[in-house]
Amino acid sequence: MLTHKPLNLNAVADAFEISRPAISKHVKILNECGIVTIEQRGRERFCRIQPESLKEVADWIAPFQQLWEQRLDSFETYLEQLKTVRNQ
């Protein structure tokens, strides 16, 4: 949701079926991790995503993603072999 524009906490909360305090807790954690910044504008607090922080996470996950893609490809090959054997 925040990739397109900053949103206030009410707009974020309206998109989910959880309470506003729960949204605030989640946003607080994302803010502490540097993934989201919070800007005070008058009485409203707006959340803005910090995509450069997500790149660090994506870089860390990348080797695991390759591993799981290889395992899923291998599993798919195995299932195709089973299917072939059963159809014979």
pLDDT, tens digit (0-9, with 9 covering 90-100), for 26-51: 999 999 999 999 999 999 999 999 98
Q: Give the mean pLDDT of 44-69.
A: 89
Q: Assess whether pLDDT exceeds 90 at residue 71.
A: yes
62 within 8 A of 50, measured Cβ to Cβ: no
Nearest-angstrom CA–CA distance, 81 and 88: 11
Residue 2 within any structural domain of the chain: no
Which of 65, 63, 31 has its CA nearest to residue 49? 31
Same domain? 44 vs 56? no
Q: Other C-beta atoms within 10 Å of 35: how many?
A: 19
Same domain? 85 vs 63? yes
Domain range spanning residue 44?
Answer: 7-49
Which pLDDT score, from 0 to 100, does residue 50 have? 92
Q: Assess whether pLDDT exceeds 90 at residue 58.
A: no
Residue 41 within any structural domain of the chain: yes
